[in-house]
Structure 1
């Protein structure tokens, strides 16, 4: 049995913090302490009770001693693992990220990674991550750090900027969705039961939420030929506006059919390895207007729903059944167990580029596959995607570098340059600057 001290930053959250503890209750080889830290200390204290229920309901009572800590320093002291999952600012701040750009004609499906919303979310999130990185250096410099917060590339980069020797990675489940999609196709293509998505091997590279697969296989059988045939089928790209309208009515904001992922393969020769809602935001054409987006079956997540959902989560009371550990698609606990020496896993990771993604700058936070084992995260060399994909990726990475530098130097003129270079910024220059000024004024009022 391995003893581990875990700090969860964002420990008052009603999603990731609960999911992580529930998954942890399903592990039989770890025990120790969990400290929940949140700027809303009451929320973290409430989650202590939920956490204790989780371990009791799963027959693991006493396996972990759970507390809430009033200060970040206290929470981090002596930690072996730090999990970061925070909402950088109030949900109401998302009005500036989403609605204000929409008023200027700039549409966003998610607005947390790229586009005007992603850039201004980064502006308020990165100073928090600079502080977290410095605090980790002071209080637990040997701890492993898993970041779930978006914009993942930039938040993880900020940790390394603050503490270059930090042992941090970004963890994202978007690649899992394309594995699940391919697993379902394997059932059709080979006449077998749908395999576990972990049986689908994909060779991926890029930056988080804009990642591409150049190879895919199942039990040694190449799947990319089947993907190519799928992209040649006219039915694959039929107008799915009716599907989008049904999703709007049913508030199924997160559903998609990977049609945009396949469209990238059709046009550029690499399969999108993130959800369509994210992929659409890194290029200018899918979000040209609502009609175009809906033709791919994708809908935008409304700001009003986000506000309602935030309230629902804060007020949520968990049933016993919701706290029973079940197999999930999340890998946070698998990563923890691997780092503690229980196993080795091969999965997608977001870490500084050491050459594993040759077409992107060294040091930039990139997404590729890698091995996670005892006290070790080692990225593996990715296959080069077609040149057109490399070109798209390089532009996105350069905008991210500008954004990181602007946040580090607190230079809003530099941030404007990143803003104007963003792929979604198709407005006339005067209008784009007016949008930036309005968003900046609103953001300064948030501080």
Structure 2
């Protein structure tokens, strides 16, 4: 409903690639529907039309693949509702609930075995495939691919850093008095982990834009600044829009701006910092019932597109995936922020943990760019999350369910609870995830 259709539109807009796209879904009719929608996008192609087919099995989809793209929903939105609703009863409000905090933790418990299964299938059927993970919690799940297939050539792709690049383009356009620049003209040096990312350098056409950004953030530190998504309706803006007050405040606190959206950034800090008063900080706690209604609307639009009542629109999205693939297939090198195991690209963060920084995509693969080091004590906060994510992944992959509660309890959102409350919440969330966590792991929890 989301990333597949975006990728189809981007492939139709692109003129560099000739793509043979195999779609696989546990829900076979969904894959068939998307193949039909893909064919309608291909009919509008500016280049070589992509070919779409639905595969009957995961091995069939993977055999001989050059590129694998993973976008799944771990469980159902109804499971995600429990991730949100149970912690809310204990005073923990979550704006997203898919990366960290109690919601992100249990989503990871459901999803790590799924990504490990996919990783092993890639090992067996397409061991040299270049693999992009779009699924959250991105850090843990990209790590799961490497745990299942250590030789995998995988990266995690996230569009959150686009937000600060759009802000800088807006600043530059306002100065120029013309819509001269887009986010693609803005270069940033990215440091952190997924959804808890920061930038310490910003340039546009060789100009250092950090002073202009600092002045912009200071001018809007109290009122905030928002930019609507094109085509977004009022309800979407209500639940997904922000005023960037969290990012501006993190700049004040740590000396460099947050690069992800406020709804994600807030979840990495203790409840008292931002989540306890989201209205004050200009963002909402997105309810899962809205996601369910939005899914129904997207299903209706998809059916209209499938049968031809709605025509695909030829336009380039803000996503970088097609540019990354084109570079990997031998096109011009492309620089993008991605999630990869830390091999020294970010000093001070745990070796081997999945971190987010820039990397160069080229015909030889993906090469991380040395990003430097986050300022203290920010580095300590990011490192704490990275260590917890790595330990969570190890515990699930090795079946050490007895280690999970202590990891859950150590999250900044949960630490303020009394031990009895934290244990009760953990046990209720475990029971609510019945059937989606491996039995051996669940018994040891």
**TM-score (norm. length: structure 1):** 0.90
The reply on whether 1:364 has 2:369 as its aligned counterpart is no
CA drift of 1:59 comes to 5.9
Where do residues 223-262 of structure 1 align in structure 2 (5 Å cutoff)?
223-233=209-219, 235-238=220-223, 250-252=235-237, 253-262=239-248
CA drift of 1:391 comes to 1.0
CA drift of 1:135 comes to 0.5
8 Å CA contact retained: 1:37, 1:72: yes
1:148 to 134, 141, 160: 134
**Alignment RMSD (CA, Å):** 2.2
Structure 2 Cα separation of the partners of residues 32 and 326 of structure 1: 18
**Equivalent in the alignment of 2:289:** 304
**Equivalent in the alignment of 1:6:** none
Gaps of 5+ in 2: 438-445
CA drift of 1:189 comes to 4.1
Deviations 1:273-305 (A, max 9, x none): 10011000000134442xx21112101111211
2:422 to 432, 435, 439: 432
**Equivalent in the alignment of 1:43:** 30
CA drift of 1:251 comes to 4.4
Where do residues 295-374 of structure 1 align in structure 2 (5 Å cutoff)?
295-316=280-301, 317-319=303-305, 323-374=312-363
**Taking structure 1 as reference, are residues 33 and 257 closer, same or farther at Cα in structure 2, changes over 3 Å only?**
same
**Equivalent in the alignment of 2:440:** none
Where do residues 55-70 of structure 1 align in structure 2 (5 Å cutoff)?
55-58=42-45, 63-70=49-56
Where do residues 130-169 of structure 1 align in structure 2 (5 Å cutoff)?
130-169=116-155
Structure 1 Cα separation of the partners of residues 66 and 152 of structure 2: 12
8 Å CA contact retained: 1:32, 1:64: yes
**TM-score (norm. length: structure 2):** 0.91
- Farther-moved stretch of structure 1 (274-283 vs 184-193): 184-193
1:277 to 255, 263, 271: 263
**Taking structure 1 as reference, are residues 445 and 80 closer, same or farther at Cα in structure 2, changes over 3 Å only?**
closer
CA drift of 1:119 comes to 0.3
8 Å CA contact retained: 2:190, 2:197: yes
Structure 2 Cα separation of the partners of residues 331 and 362 of structure 1: 26
Structure 1 Cα separation of the partners of residues 243 and 275 of structure 2: 20
Deviations 1:208-264 (A, max 9, x none): 00000011122222222223333444x522489xx9xxx997442111122211110
8 Å CA contact retained: 1:239, 1:295: no
Structure 1 Cα separation of the partners of residues 177 and 234 of structure 2: 34
8 Å CA contact retained: 1:339, 1:373: yes
**Equivalent in the alignment of 1:10:** none
Structure 2 Cα separation of the partners of residues 171 and 296 of structure 1: 27
Gaps of 5+ in 1: 1-13
The reply on whether 1:111 has 2:100 as its aligned counterpart is no
CA drift of 1:60 comes to 5.8
**Taking structure 1 as reference, are residues 424 and 168 closer, same or farther at Cα in structure 2, changes over 3 Å only?**
same
